[in-house]
Structure 1
Amino acid sequence: MASVMEDPTLERHFRGHKDAVTCADFSPNRKQLASGSADKSLMIWNMAPKARAFRFVGHQDVITGVHFSPSGNLVASSSKDRTVRLWTPSMKGESTVFKAHTAAVRSVAFSHDGQRLVTASDDKSVKVWSVHRRCFIYCLNQHTNWVRCARFSPDGRLIASCGDDHCVRLWDTSTKHCINCFSDCKGSPTFVDFNASGTCMASSGADSTLKIWDLRTNKLIQHYQVHSAGINSFSFHPSNNYVISGSSDSTIKILDLLEGRLIYTLHGHKGAVITVAFSRAGDLFASGGADGQVLMWRTNFDTKSYKDVLRQHSQRSTPDPSPHLSDIHPRGRHLHHPQPTAIQINPTVADTQSTDPRVIELGQAVHSTMILLWVWANVDGRALTWL
């Protein structure tokens, strides 16, 4: 079992939201952390000690998703107000508004080259947008109910989406066709994403399970049921060796994918944990919840070198071969239940080193630019609708 020095620790907390924190993402340079909330505001927290935080006001309803561009010069946010905004995460507070969908927008994410955005909506569609041209590109619309989440694969060739039709769909971005539909879902999947290498895809949802598929074989390779309530969000560690998940059972769970087991349960939030996210380097992760707090944790458990991990696995008494670090093992289908050996961590949030930063509120009445977008028919180019 890991030593105390390898356990995750609560590094800072950020308080400034007036309602539940629904989404969070680290900037690529790790100097900022963005969070969105049911209070309709986007917060940009600066990591430097005593630095001011920015509250961006512009959305008219709950913010459902937030994502930094790969360069870090833009932040995208989605909202139940049917729009997506692209913000400049600075004192200027400028934003561009996309009237993106005809119903609530549930998620937004950049492609890994920063050229495109993908959005998912209660209008049953997934849409792809050009960041540079600020325009609509194409729509994916085979879901038969609300679409909760959509993400690009690392190489941009695939999009994964999931929704209330109990399906996880995999799309080819070149042909715009759905190339696979994973319907092995007892409850509605609420979140989907790829691992860092793009070899695996995972989904989680209301049935409190997290499932991982190998995209090279299209087979379910791991199936975890370690939470006692629905999973709202998860995040792959950049090494592909770990996943963190946040649940309505008020806990954060950390899974070791090489060992195929739960290793930590973190208690820090009062109420549901709605969002979790690793930093790009994986040394930090953030969580946000119904208590309106954003907690920032230091990972610590990833400090072992890959050689040490391999050495540890070579000493196992099981007949499984030593794991390849670019893969996820074990390969067989497994159902993992909570184990009493998992370490429970109960930090005292009030005793962390951080103090509440000064918040600067930036309104959008002057700075925002509205983009009204035509959606064109694929057949003859006639305008179908004015969004």
Structure 2
Amino acid sequence: MSSVLVDPTLERHFKGHRDAITSVDFNCNEKQIATGSMDSCVMIWNMKPQMRAYRFVGHKDAVMSVQFSPSGHLVASASRDKTVRLWVPSVKGESTVFRAHTGTVRSVRFSPDGQTLVTSSDDKTIKFWTVHRQKFLFSLSQHINWVRCAKFSPDGQLIVSASDDKTVKLWDKNSRECIHSFYEHGGYVNYADFHPSGTCIAAASTDNTVKVWDIRTHKLLQHYQVHSAVVNELSFHSSGNYLITASNDSTLKILDLLEGRLLYTLHGHQVSNATGLSNDLTLHRSGSKTLSQPTQNFTEPSVESPSYTQQQHPKQTAVDSIPAALASTLEHIVGQLDVLTQTVAILEQRLTLTEDKLKECIEMQHKSS
């Protein structure tokens, strides 16, 4: 059975951060997106155009990683200020904070059941915490350089970590032992993740390559050299058939894992730091201050007999340039709207505090009477 693949097109464009965006994640309900930035802020974007974004301020330095909890009721953020924060993704932006490491916290991830956090850091350790009360559980410390990433397997029993020591390590959460180390990358390993089936892992490296291994046999399954610069991050599609990668060459690549080849190259940012995939949407984050969302309007192929009608290198359509004066005016308007949005957010927070104090006063009056 053949499947028709429709070329990805740009669907949404978000702007609000004042510096490079480092991390992005979808809420499980796909109604919100969380982003972290070098501007030290976490932002929650609503997919409905009429709903404004929330800006959360609390970190004292760049936010390196964000993730929604499996339930979507919390957002975890990791920062260069050596702390992790847990936020409630609402207008109040309430958060709890704990000092997680002695160095920059590069990543934070929830376990599949939402009860545990795993963090990785420049202090060369991987640490585990309870989500409730943020109690420290244990650490893993066999890496000999910065640990860029640590993630749970789909069943929560294994951990994969990526490090500047050029290795990818596979850990058993229960025994706290390193099961295997993968040494095939020739550069720092920026990111690693599990295939949705839990049987494979993929990693992105400064050697410009992406590699896929079978964790049961520890064999290298696929090797992709489709980028011309450092590969920063990657993400599997929920079907397990596709992998999207982001690179310093300012592109994202969509890879077909069934056929082992490049499907598409997406352009649009000056630098692409990372990727995020929802079930039916592809959203990429970049080293620029903006967030773009191209639609992923293709039908998933049959695993038994994959065949496609698209070209390997789709034609890029040029967009008419905007006059400089108009672009400058629009930029100014967007800036003023951003200021207005922040002012409204502050007013809403003050109004909420006033309402809370009023309720307390009324309750006190009732008690005294």
Measured against the shorter chain, the TM-score band is 0.7 to 0.9
C-alpha separation in 2, matches of 1:256 and 1:163: 26
- Per the alignment, residue 366 of structure 2 pairs with none
Q: Provide, for residues 36-84 of structure 1, a one-character-per-residue CA deviation record: whole Å limited to 9, x for no partner.
A: 1111111100011211100101111111101000000000010111011
Q: Secondary structure at the match of 1:273?
A: coil
What are the within-5 Å matches in structure 2 for residues 104-183 of structure 1?
104-183=104-183
Q: Secondary structure at the match of 2:243?
A: strand
Deviation at 1:347, TM superposition (A): 6.9
- Per the alignment, residue 300 of structure 1 pairs with 297
- Per the alignment, residue 101 of structure 1 pairs with 101
The verdict on how the C-alpha distance between 1:68 and 1:349 changes in structure 2, with shifts beyond 3 A counting, is farther
Q: Provide, for residues 86-105 of structure 1, a one-character-per-residue CA deviation record: whole Å limited to 9, x for no partner.
A: 00000121011010000000
- Per the alignment, residue 310 of structure 1 pairs with 304
Deviation at 1:29, TM superposition (A): 0.1
- Per the alignment, residue 69 of structure 2 pairs with 69
Q: Provide, for residues 111-142 of structure 1, a one-character-per-residue CA deviation record: whole Å limited to 9, x for no partner.
A: 11111111110000000111023211110001
**TM-score of the superposition, structure 2-length normalised?**
0.84
Kindly indicate whether structure 1 or structure 2 has the higher relative contact order, using CA contacts under 8 Å at least 6 residues apart: 1
Rg (Cα) greater in structure: 2
Q: Secondary structure at the match of 1:223?
A: strand
**Residue segments in structure 1 that go unaligned for 5+ positions in a row:** 316-339, 368-387
Cα RMSD (Å) of the superposition?
A: 2.5
Deviation at 1:288, TM superposition (A): 1.6
The one-letter amino acid of 2:304's match is L
C-alpha separation in 2, matches of 1:263 and 1:311: 17
CA contact 1:268–1:348 (8 Å) conserved in 2: no
**TM-score of the superposition, structure 1-length normalised?**
0.81
C-alpha separation in 2, matches of 1:164 and 1:203: 12
Q: Secondary structure at the match of 2:304?
A: helix
The one-letter amino acid of 1:251's match is T
Q: Provide, for residues 263-312 of structure 1, a one-character-per-residue CA deviation record: whole Å limited to 9, x for no partner.
A: 1001111x210111001x2x1121121221111121112x2453xx6344
Report how many residues are paired: 331
The verdict on how the C-alpha distance between 1:2 and 1:268 changes in structure 2, with shifts beyond 3 A counting, is farther
C-alpha separation in 1, matches of 2:145 and 2:87: 29
Deviation at 1:344, TM superposition (A): 4.8
Q: Provide, for residues 150-180 of structure 1, a one-character-per-residue CA deviation record: whole Å limited to 9, x for no partner.
A: 0000101100101111111111000001110
C-alpha separation in 1, matches of 2:171 and 2:99: 23
The verdict on how the C-alpha distance between 1:190 and 1:349 changes in structure 2, with shifts beyond 3 A counting, is farther
What are the within-5 Å matches in structure 2 for residues 1-387 of structure 1?
6-269=6-269, 271-279=270-278, 281=279, 283-301=280-298, 303-304=299-300, 306=302, 310-313=304-307, 341-345=312-316, 348=319, 359-360=341-342
The one-letter amino acid of 2:29's match is N
CA contact 1:266–1:346 (8 Å) conserved in 2: no
C-alpha separation in 2, matches of 1:286 and 1:215: 28
Q: Secondary structure at the match of 2:54?
A: strand
Q: Provide, for residues 234-257 of structure 1, a one-character-per-residue CA deviation record: whole Å limited to 9, x for no partner.
A: 100000000001100000100000
C-alpha separation in 2, matches of 1:349 and 1:69: 41
**Higher fraction of strand:** 1
Q: Secondary structure at the match of 1:310?
A: coil
C-alpha separation in 1, matches of 2:306 and 2:164: 41
Deviation at 1:360, TM superposition (A): 3.8
The one-letter amino acid of 1:54's match is Y
C-alpha separation in 2, matches of 1:164 and 1:2: 40
CA contact 1:10–1:296 (8 Å) conserved in 2: yes
The one-letter amino acid of 2:272's match is V
CA contact 1:265–1:345 (8 Å) conserved in 2: no
CA contact 2:125–2:147 (8 Å) conserved in 1: yes
**Higher fraction of helix:** 2
The verdict on how the C-alpha distance between 1:219 and 1:349 changes in structure 2, with shifts beyond 3 A counting, is farther
